Structure 1
Amino acid sequence: MKTGKGAEWAKLFRIVTLVFSISIFTYWFIKKSTIGIIKDSVALQLINKLPQTIDFYVITLDEPTKGAFDTKHIGKIRPEYYRTEYLKMDNSNEYWVVGYLGKKNLVYFSQHSVPNKNIDQIIEVQNYINQSVKLSNRAKKQVEAYNYENTKLGVWVTLDFLLLFLNLVLLLRKKKIN
């Protein structure tokens, strides 16, 4: 469809699709980029006192009876630094802190209960500890599943951005006159 009514409708459809896609991705990017301060949440301050940079994850047990987990990546925390994360603890009163040295080397696992949801939590990681081998294996599987889902999402977002870019370039390019 290079000429006629079909070409005009196709171009209009591409423009509407591009505007809709760009607005959806803008909303998604802003939503993912904002700080996760949640109303009625528990603030967790994690302080790394170990001599190496540790990559920390927090796993919240959403509904302990059903076994649903919510995994968050806190990030790599350097020695003598801290990170604050906000946990939504509506359906839970327990969370796990998992620390990795490198990609696969689990060096820290601790299980914490939240008896009072009005008091913020402060955890100082001072030694390499694994409080429960059974629970740390479950946590390791949760972190692997979380990383796999994030990798899969990253591939899809990259491919979608590539398609958006190609459509935008093809729509805006000037036609050569021979």
Structure 2
Amino acid sequence: MVFIIFLIFWACVLSLVLSKVKSARLAKWAKLFRILTVVFSISTFTYWFIKKSSVGFVDNSVGLQVVNKLPQTLDFYLIKVDSAKNGNLEPKHMGKIRPEYYRVEYLKMDKSDEYWIIGYLGKKNMVYFSQHAVPNKNIDQIVEVQNYINQSVKLSDAAKKEVDAYNYENTKLGIWVSLDFLLLFLNLVLLLRKNKQ
């Protein structure tokens, strides 16, 4: 998706430049390119947002329910340890869970048999870390977070680095998406204004 976002960015920049083309013959091709860019961009972002906001049911997955029994809202992350790829870590943001509430995730565990749960109080304060094995991939799991623990300092340091890198990449992606939206909006306004004239 990152490549497509960069592609949309440069296509929108080129579309803004082509909006200044006045030659009758070139103007038709420039307008066609600008229309295709706007349609492609809107279609791509619509598909992406629908995919991101839909519930992540996965075939042959393990259902994981994380219940927050602590008196404070914690921001939870999940890291799947991919044993097939030499211990590759795959982080995912579960979101904030209020006291006595839960969140459900579906994990594709065909190449993994372990996951970690990390809880943050605030942005940087890790107050919970637990390591969980999945001995039977046909049984869903429930994890109740009842106290502030850190089961392994070494693993929690690795998890913290993964979560920081994950958040950094998401922040970068958010900036590029915002720039794409701004350029897309400018292109759309210019197209509609020219059509009205």
Q: TM > 0.5 between the two?
A: yes
Write the distance in 1 (CA, Å) between the matches of 2:87 and 2:66: 25
State the AA in 1 paired with 2:33: F
Question: Cα distance, 1:39 vs. partner?
Answer: 0.5
Does 2:92 align with 1:72? yes
Equivalent residue for 1:22, pick from 33, 38, 42: 42
Letter in 2 for 1:126: Q
CA drift of 1:170 comes to 0.6
RMSD (CA atoms): 1.5
Between Structure 1 and Structure 2, which shows a larger proportion of helix residues? 2
The alignment's TM-score, normalised by the length of structure 2, stands at: 0.86
Matched, 1:115 2:127: no
Counterpart secondary structure, 1:93: strand
Distance (whole Å) between structure 1 residues aligned to residue 165 and residue 59 of structure 2: 27
| Structure 1 position 23, deviation (Å) | 1.0
* AA of the residue aligned to 1:162: L
2:122 matched residue in structure 1: 102
Q: How many residues align?
A: 177
1:91 corresponds in structure 2 to 111
The sequence identity of aligned pairs, in percent, is 73
Q: 2:80 aligns with which of 60, 70, 85?
A: 60
| Alpha-carbon distance in 2 for matches of 1:61, 1:175 | 54
In structure 2, distance between residues paired with 1:65 and 1:10: 47
Counterpart position of 1:154: 174
24, 49, 60: which one aligns with 1:40? 60
Equivalent-residue separation in structure 2 for 1:65 and 1:32 (angstroms): 25
Unaligned runs of 5+ in 1: none
Q: Which runs of 4+ in 1 moved over 3 A?
A: 174-177
Q: For residues 13-40 of structure 1, give each alpha carbon's deviation from its aligned partner in whole angstroms, at most 9, with x where no partner exists.
A: 1111111111111111111111111001
Q: What is residue 162 of structure 2 aligned with on the other side?
A: 142
- Tell me the alpha carbon deviations over residues 81-139 of structure 1, each in whole angstroms, 9 at most, x when there is no partner: 11111111110000000000001000000000000000000011100000000000000
Report the 3-state secondary structure (helix = DSSP H, G, I; strand = E; otherwise coil) of the residue aligned with 2:112: coil
Query: Structure 2 CA distance, aligned partners of 1:41 and 1:117?
Result: 8
Structure 2: gaps spanning 5 or more residues: 1-20
